[in-house]
With several copies, the nearest count.
Chain A
């Protein structure tokens, strides 16, 4: 299969940013910054001054603002990957499901209820172009 067709299909999925090579490149330092929070001493420094800690990393200003605002959708847009970004919300003491809910149009209780009710249906969520 041709790589261009392969990648193009990924853009047809509603509400989803597939972590492609292009995103991995764009988000490289954002993800490395997030990964640095796995170390206790880095978490300390981060908590003591988020902006100062961020400024040690070669992130774009957009990326820095998205991190400071905990705007996860924007971070994904700017090349973040959720497994790396999870180090940020873990450091904030926020559970994975709650962090997920912030990326949707639901509150955390609404999101939790949706999951208990069987999760988001794939119907209408599979293809933008196809609408199915």
Chain B
């Protein structure tokens, strides 16, 4: 069986990818951000996951305005970094785990999640920046990836409750995979930020930290935060945090927090990340 051994929540700000690619990770501006990931990079080296289920959103890269899947799961063999307008990031291709991805996809559909299956797509900063933050700059990513793209752009996006439930269903699906696999699930995006309109630049340290507290808690209260609260409190793009609930839902009722880090700002965005371990009840 595949074991979900840990969950990671993390921002996926494009500028962090630029910092990595241009070797600026230890300068005055980026230093405090990357320092927060030092623990996690070391931990990942020890953990050596076989696969990461990487929950992210596409930012008008693989999907244009024509087609908007609520939940799309990548079942392909490999994915290239997307050209987001200034050339693709100089990072390795992302290797999929088609066996595991198709297994998960099939189980989710049987479990009444209305998945969209994707075979070929390019993956943007939403997926590649977290890889850089956790693994640095290897020749080849040290694990396979199952991309899970969530619509968090066009409203209504999926509810927190639905995201949590999807995480629970992913955990059930992993259990019935025949091969032994060390699987992590990452929820990415956020934390508070607003990239548009006269309110651009909104950040909310207090709310973001309350959200991190709720993720650590031994309950599922966090799944019930309504969209309007994310919008009011965390800016129009803070809604990306619903994707963290897919990760959290996959870990079960009780978790142990291994690491937590928060920093303001990275460009327009509050950066945060959390590493959680499921605790058997």
A and B form one complex: yes
Chain A residues proximal to chain B, CB less than 8 Å:
1-4, 6-7, 9-10, 13-22, 24-25, 27-28, 31-32, 34-35, 37-38, 72-73, 76, 81-84, 86-87, 90-91, 95-97, 100-101, 103-105, 111, 114-116, 118-122, 125-127
Bound: A116/B28 CA distance, A: 12
| Contacts A37-B85, A100-B201, A119-B202; A16 near B231 (Cβ below 8 A) | yes
| Contacts A3-B106, A10-B231, A90-B84; A17 near B265 (Cβ below 8 A) | no
Query: A118 contacts B84, CB within 8 Å?
Result: no
Query: B200 contacts A101, CB within 8 Å?
Result: yes
| Contacts A21-B105, A31-B65, A87-B85; A14 near B198 (Cβ below 8 A) | yes
- A105 contact set on B, CB distance < 8 A: 198
Number of inter-chain CB pairs below 8 Å: 172
- A118 contact set on B, CB distance < 8 A: 203, 205, 264-265
> What mask results when residues 166 to 200 of chain B are scored 1 for a CB within 8 Å of chain A, else 0?
00000001001010000000000000101111111
Q: Tell me if B232 counts as interface (CB < 8 A to partner A).
A: yes
Query: A122 contacts B268, CB within 8 Å?
Result: no
| Contacts A20-B155, A120-B203; A103 near B267 (Cβ below 8 A) | no
- A6 contact set on B, CB distance < 8 A: 110, 156, 227-228
Q: Tell me if B261 counts as interface (CB < 8 A to partner A).
A: no
| Most chain A Cβ neighbours within 10 Å, of B66, B203, B267, B268 | B268
Q: Tell me if B98 counts as interface (CB < 8 A to partner A).
A: yes
Query: B195 contacts A104, CB within 8 Å?
Result: no
Q: Tell me if B136 counts as interface (CB < 8 A to partner A).
A: no
| Contacts A28-B65, A100-B268; A18 near B201 (Cβ below 8 A) | no
Closest to A81 in B: B153
A21 vs chain B, min Cβ distance (A): 4
Query: A1 contacts B110, CB within 8 Å?
Result: yes
- A119 contact set on B, CB distance < 8 A: 192, 201-204, 264-265, 268, 270
| Contacts A83-B153, A84-B60; A73 near B197 (Cβ below 8 A) | yes
Q: Tell me if B59 counts as interface (CB < 8 A to partner A).
A: yes
> What mask results when residues 225 to 252 of chain B are scored 1 for a CB within 8 Å of chain A, else 0?
0111001110111000000000000000
The 6 closest A-B pairs by CB, nearest first: A119-B203, A15-B199, A15-B198, A90-B85, A83-B60, A100-B200
Q: Tell me if B141 counts as interface (CB < 8 A to partner A).
A: no
Closest to B205 in A: A118
Bound: A25/B201 CA distance, A: 26
Q: Tell me if B64 counts as interface (CB < 8 A to partner A).
A: yes
Bound: A95/B199 CA distance, A: 18
Bound: A5/B195 CA distance, A: 25
> What mask results when residues 68 to 91 of chain B are scored 1 for a CB within 8 Å of chain A, else 0?
100000010000000111100000
